[in-house]
Structure 1
Amino acid sequence: MSAAPPVLIVGAGPTGLNLALQLARRGVPVRIVDRAEGPGTASRAMAVQARTLEFYRQLGFADAVVAEGVPIPAVRLREGGEEVARVSFHDLGAGESPYPFVLAYAQDDHERLLVRELARAGIVVEWGTALAALSQDGAGIRATLSRGGAGEVCTPASLCGCDGAHSRVREALGIGFPGGTYDQLFYVADARIAGGFHEELTVNLGAHGLGLLLPVRLSGMQRLIGLVPDALTSHPGLSFEDLRPGVEALMGIRVEAVRWFSTYRVHYRVAERFRAGRCFLAGDAGHIHSPAGGQGMNTGIGDAVNLGWKLAETVAGRADPALLDTYEPERIAFARNLVSTTDRAFRALTGPGLGGQMLRTLLLPHLVPALWGFAAARKAMFDTVSQVRIAYHDSPLSAGRAGRVRGGDRLPWAGDPDNFAPLASLAWQLHVYGAGRPGLAEEARRAGLPLHAFPWTGAAREAGFSEGAAYLVRPDGYVALAGPDSEELMAYCGRWGIAAKP
């Protein structure tokens, strides 16, 4: 491995592996190191959202992920030991994404798949390799790596810290990580349940308890998550057996075997910056928050996709280096908003006071089924949880509006014919729905942009496109420029130094 690669990635969890894949698939040499001896062995993060699957589709392995995971068909609400409601997730986001569902996919399986995909791209993770020291100055970056007691100096052009909540990269850069920790202690377990495998998500609500049951693997394991009773939070050597009576009573199950058990406290923090010079933070190194909505891992993967294409374009000389200045404002704004919203939801749902008890035992069992009857409520829920609603309207990369589509929006999916298929090129491109203006093809040729013309259909109208309008689409599938005329398009390409991908 080169001691001076264009990019060094520290941390080989889902964020780091995705960042390495984004770079490798675009032909950028990269080194990725991790202090662990290999991929994780516990299920940990579970939910893979639709937007993440859309990114994986661009890389060609979304179908493999879906095949190994478990689509969750419904959520059941239980209160006081009785089922009080069931809401279907079937085709929850139909018409909005090729993946209109929530997928359960254990993180250890997920990581092994990403490692295999990375190896196919010619990159091998350097396990058992830790970042011992990091500094940067006008001359560049100097990273000291430690493996088996031996040290090595690496001088990458850029360095990315994807090394988790206790990030060595963040600490070395002196970037603050403000936030706090919730008082409640949680347990998590992967277990086998008597009576067979449950594919549905079950939310068990109680005045003094909260417990989730969801599928982990096709092999039949289930994930149990819940609050540790206050009386047991200081119990030395707390095990699942200490919790078993309360867990089984609340969830109405009998646990036959426990494969993995742990306790944890939930933190909420966002780094003060996501960039320092030529060093960047992504994933848990930059933000951690409550698990509400299954957003954490997917947000880190979103960071990796955003940063990956921008690094690749600048390394290859296909874009102005100022492109990298847009990474932090685009992703830190979303991270701050996510921490704020998940914090409110988490406090309301887990609060020990009367308000929390009423929410769990009275409001949720009746409010959720009532709201589920409205298509707008189901759409809002899918758009938020699936992360297809994430937009970069305030980014300097975003401009214009045509129809309901604004610069900064995720490119809406228009179904058949599939307007997401061209995104597999991982390149800038122009889209038009219906007959475009005269001369558009020649403008695209002069700008070095592939032009993809789609018929004007009811689905395109429903997705929010304007008939005949052009849309400049970024390599990550977001609309950069909506409805530009010829001068606006050429000026935009000139401003950002956008060049054709060879």
Structure 2
Amino acid sequence: MTDVLIVGAGPTGLTLACDLARRGVPVRIVDKSPEYPRSSRSKGPNPRSLEVLEDLGVVEAVLAAGSPPLPMRKYRDGVAVADADPYAGSTPTPDAPYDRGRLIAQWRLEEILRDRLAGFGVAVETGTEVVGLTDGDASVAVAFADGSGADARYVVGCDGAHSRVRKLLGVAFDGETDEEQLMVCGDVEITPGVLDRGIWHQWFDEDGAVMLCPIPGTRTGWWYQSGPERDAEGRPLAPSPDGFRRLFAHHTRLPAGHLTEATLLSTYRVNVRMADRYRVGRVLLAGDAAHVHAIAGGLGMNTGIQDAFNLGWKLAQVLRGRADTELLDTYEEERLPVAAWTLDLTSERLRATLEAIRKPGGGLDSAITPSTTGLDRGYRWSSLAHPGGGGDVRSGDRAPDAPCVDATTGAPTRLFRVLAGPHITVLGFGAGAEPALREAAAAHGDAVRAFRVYGAEAPEPATAAALPKALHDLDGHAHAAYGIGGDTVVVVRPDNHVGLISDADDRDAVRLYLDALDGRREPDPMSVAGMVDGIRKG
């Protein structure tokens, strides 16, 4: 019996599998497709997903395989009328190292994640379709289409908008489908040299639109058109290469023969739907299996990746007996409101974009706002968010990055490097935080990494070496990002969201919060912290 069976090997399922595997959780991941898809689909991770991928150890591969978002050129009647770069003037900041997403075909991102997963000895089992689920007291019995079966302590459905797992659970998928707003999609090739591959080309006319975005590292481009061809009765026709060529010639005013290849054709309907539950006993839902929405803003795949990152550490803590099963309830508590917000945002951005393209110079840049970066999504309402915080950062928020120096070695580092990995992080600002840091490290061992963060005062190397770990916030970026005024302890969850910001002398708050995430632990009696704790308890 495996601990977790993941159904669906898209970006959501692969992110979850990588996160669980690096935590040492036995995991299987299956997909009903007999082979890996080669369609481009999603255009790539947004800044928050890049932070997740950095934590998983694959961001360098993603950055190398993709490209920055391309500037957009808008045409009217075949003539270029405006250029726009939604990210012009945007730059990384100390607390947010990624100011824009990355353009990369979904199939290439999946390859990178599969390679990472293979490093943990786990491979996707293709051609494996789930047809039945029986949830028992201690496990889920899973039936496959070939007549075989398996048992898993938990099952996670990451199997897309038509999720078999969701349907087997009987979970409602409420919402609506707009049959009028149809879009035809595909991967196409254009005669080399005809169009600049450094531009996202967008043709808008009174009777429709065509959008063509080059795919990094290929000769292919993403093709989107605002509606299918229709027959004499107005019924939509199935997309075809010849139809693509006709519309290409009509909107671009270029010869139809320049569109030399059109594959992976499909019709897209705007669906706005959300599951009413994310967990039924030992079975959970993530990604498109739990929510679908308009493509405006590019949040579909990204919301799924971030679902998986929220869920992975919680499953691991429960499976290892370090947290009660109620911790899994916080997955729905935190992610369902984010999905509802995403449905509203993408629907509003779609309306704004459709309005913008009616006028010359309008285009898809209207879909992009600061909120589509994902950096402002937090869980302040969560039961895991201990009340409190300083400055703009509160418990539940995304944990900011900051450049620092390793106080022991003098080497430059960043808070994201400190946070990366399957552990809870405790940051102690000021000398008064040292007792809480020592207690946390002694009681929770490898599950917690505790760091004293020095401000302008650089510690002596011997002093730094005596602490659990020490960072020098040389330029004050960490103090500024977390709104630190006095001696303070910050607990950062394994998914890099702030769990607690507390006065350093409130050691009980720190202890109780860590116990909630990692089980009740007693300090090692042979450690300094253990001796101090024993004396304090009398």
TM-score tier, shorter chain, comes to: 0.7 to 0.9
Q: Is the 8 A contact 1:90 1:101 kept in 2?
A: no
Residue 168 of structure 2 aligns to a residue whose secondary structure is helix
Q: Deviations over 1:83-114 (max 9, x none)?
A: 32422525735114322222111111222222
Work out the CA distance in 2 between the residues paired with 1:248 and 1:464: 54
Query: Which residue in 2 is equivalent to 1:125?
Result: 124
Work out the CA distance in 1 between the residues paired with 2:519 and 2:475: 31
Query: Which residue in 2 is equivalent to 1:313?
Result: 317
Q: Is the 8 A contact 1:5 1:31 kept in 2?
A: yes
Residue 122 of structure 2 aligns to a residue whose secondary structure is coil
Residue 128 of structure 1 aligns to a residue whose secondary structure is coil
Query: Which residue in 2 is equivalent to 1:375?
Result: none
Query: Which residue in 2 is equivalent to 1:376?
Result: none
The correspondence for 1:329, drawn from 333, 338, 354, is: 333
Query: AA paired with 2:48?
Result: R
Q: How does 1:411-450 map to 2 (within 5 A)?
A: 411-416=399-404, 417-432=413-428, 437=433, 439-448=435-444, 449-450=448-449
Work out the CA distance in 2 between the residues paired with 1:34 and 1:367: 33
Question: Is the alpha carbon distance of 1:343 and 1:434 closer, same or farther for their aligned partners in structure 2, counting shifts above 3 Å?
Answer: same
Query: Which residue in 2 is equivalent to 1:289?
Result: 293
Q: How does 1:228-247 map to 2 (within 5 A)?
A: 228=227, 231=230, 234-247=235-248
Question: Is the alpha carbon distance of 1:366 and 1:209 closer, same or farther for their aligned partners in structure 2, counting shifts above 3 Å?
Answer: closer
Work out the CA distance in 2 between the residues paired with 1:459 and 1:190: 44
Q: Deviations over 1:111-145 (max 9, x none)?
A: 22222221111112111111121122445422112
The correspondence for 1:344, drawn from 338, 348, 351, is: 348
Query: AA paired with 2:398?
Result: R
Query: Which residue in 2 is equivalent to 1:86?
Result: 84
Query: AA paired with 2:106?
Result: Q
The correspondence for 1:164, drawn from 160, 163, 173, is: 160
Residue 403 of structure 2 aligns to a residue whose secondary structure is coil
The correspondence for 2:24, drawn from 7, 27, 46, is: 27
2:479 pairs with 1:481:
no
Q: CA deviation at 1:6?
A: 1.0
Q: TM-score, normalised by structure 2?
A: 0.82
Query: AA paired with 2:358?
Result: T
Query: AA paired with 1:401?
Result: G
Query: AA paired with 2:90?
Result: L
Q: CA deviation at 1:49?
A: 1.1
Question: Is the alpha carbon distance of 1:474 and 1:82 closer, same or farther for their aligned partners in structure 2, counting shifts above 3 Å?
Answer: same
Query: Which residue in 1 is equivalent to 2:47?
Result: 50
Gaps of 5+ in 1: 351-355, 370-379
Query: Which residue in 2 is equivalent to 1:490?
Result: 511
Query: AA paired with 1:22?
Result: D
Question: Is the alpha carbon distance of 1:202 and 1:102 closer, same or farther for their aligned partners in structure 2, counting shifts above 3 Å?
Answer: farther
Q: Is the 8 A contact 1:78 1:85 kept in 2?
A: no
2:16 pairs with 1:15:
no
Residue 148 of structure 2 aligns to a residue whose secondary structure is strand
Q: Deviations over 1:431-455 (max 9, x none)?
A: 2456554534323334433222241
Q: Is the 8 A contact 1:40 1:111 kept in 2?
A: no
**Percentage of identical aligned residues:** 35
Q: Deviations over 1:182-229 (max 9, x none)?
A: 122211122223425523334443344233322213123221212126
The correspondence for 1:410, drawn from 398, 401, 408, is: 398
Work out the CA distance in 2 between the residues paired with 1:24 and 1:6: 11
Question: Is the alpha carbon distance of 1:192 and 1:112 closer, same or farther for their aligned partners in structure 2, counting shifts above 3 Å?
Answer: same
The correspondence for 2:306, drawn from 302, 310, 313, is: 302
More off after superposition, 104-113 vs 167-176 = 104-113
Q: TM-score, normalised by structure 1?
A: 0.87
Work out the CA distance in 1 between the residues paired with 2:358 and 2:312: 45
Query: Which residue in 1 is equivalent to 2:458?
Result: none
Q: Highest Rg: 1 or 2? A: 2
The correspondence for 1:176, drawn from 169, 172, 175, is: 172
More off after superposition, 385-394 vs 464-473 = 464-473
Query: Which residue in 2 is equivalent to 1:276?
Result: 280
Residue 308 of structure 2 aligns to a residue whose secondary structure is helix
Q: Is the 8 A contact 1:289 1:343 kept in 2?
A: yes
Residue 47 of structure 1 aligns to a residue whose secondary structure is coil
Query: AA paired with 1:167?
Result: S
Q: CA deviation at 1:312?
A: 0.9
Residue 301 of structure 1 aligns to a residue whose secondary structure is helix
Q: Is the 8 A contact 1:72 1:200 kept in 2?
A: no
2:455 pairs with 1:457:
no
Q: Deviations over 1:137-177 (max 9, x none)?
A: 44542211233xxx223221111111111111111111011
Q: Is the 8 A contact 2:228 2:238 kept in 1?
A: no
Work out the CA distance in 2 between the residues paired with 1:436 and 1:365: 56
Work out the CA distance in 2 between the residues paired with 1:97 and 1:446: 32
Q: Is the 8 A contact 1:75 1:89 kept in 2?
A: no
Question: Is the alpha carbon distance of 1:311 and 1:253 closer, same or farther for their aligned partners in structure 2, counting shifts above 3 Å?
Answer: farther
The 4+ residue runs of structure 1 with deviation greater than 6 A are 366-369
Query: Which residue in 1 is equivalent to 2:525?
Result: none
Query: Which residue in 2 is equivalent to 1:469?
Result: 488
Work out the CA distance in 2 between the residues paired with 1:73 and 1:439: 50
Work out the CA distance in 1 between the residues paired with 2:378 and 2:106: 26
Question: Is the alpha carbon distance of 1:192 and 1:462 closer, same or farther for their aligned partners in structure 2, counting shifts above 3 Å?
Answer: farther
Residue 160 of structure 1 aligns to a residue whose secondary structure is strand
Work out the CA distance in 2 between the residues paired with 1:456 and 1:324: 39
Q: Is the 8 A contact 1:37 1:127 kept in 2?
A: yes
The correspondence for 1:386, drawn from 373, 378, 385, is: 373
Work out the CA distance in 1 between the residues paired with 2:428 and 2:190: 52
Gaps of 5+ in 2: 405-412, 454-470, 522-538
Work out the CA distance in 1 between the residues paired with 2:417 and 2:439: 22
More off after superposition, 291-300 vs 151-160 = 151-160
Residue 94 of structure 1 aligns to a residue whose secondary structure is coil
Q: Is the 8 A contact 1:32 1:125 kept in 2?
A: yes
Query: Which residue in 1 is equivalent to 2:69?
Result: 72
Query: AA paired with 2:516?
Result: R
Query: AA paired with 1:228?
Result: G
Residue 489 of structure 1 aligns to a residue whose secondary structure is helix
Q: Is the 8 A contact 2:73 2:80 kept in 1?
A: no
Query: Which residue in 1 is equivalent to 2:224?
Result: 225
Question: Is the alpha carbon distance of 1:206 and 1:157 closer, same or farther for their aligned partners in structure 2, counting shifts above 3 Å?
Answer: same
Q: CA deviation at 1:46?
A: 1.7
Work out the CA distance in 1 between the residues paired with 2:109 and 2:148: 30
Work out the CA distance in 2 between the residues paired with 1:202 and 1:125: 36
Query: AA paired with 1:275?
Result: R
Work out the CA distance in 2 between the residues paired with 1:293 and 1:367: 9
The correspondence for 2:384, drawn from 397, 409, 431, is: 397
Work out the CA distance in 2 between the residues paired with 1:251 and 1:415: 47
Q: Is the 8 A contact 1:92 1:382 kept in 2?
A: no
Q: Is the 8 A contact 2:157 2:163 kept in 1?
A: yes
Q: CA deviation at 1:473?
A: 0.4
- Count of aligned positions: 478
Work out the CA distance in 2 between the residues paired with 1:499 and 1:349: 51
Q: Is the 8 A contact 1:161 1:280 kept in 2?
A: yes
The correspondence for 1:257, drawn from 257, 260, 278, is: 260
Q: Deviations over 1:448-486 (max 9, x none)?
A: 332222416343355343144321001111111123531
Q: Is the 8 A contact 1:433 1:456 kept in 2?
A: no
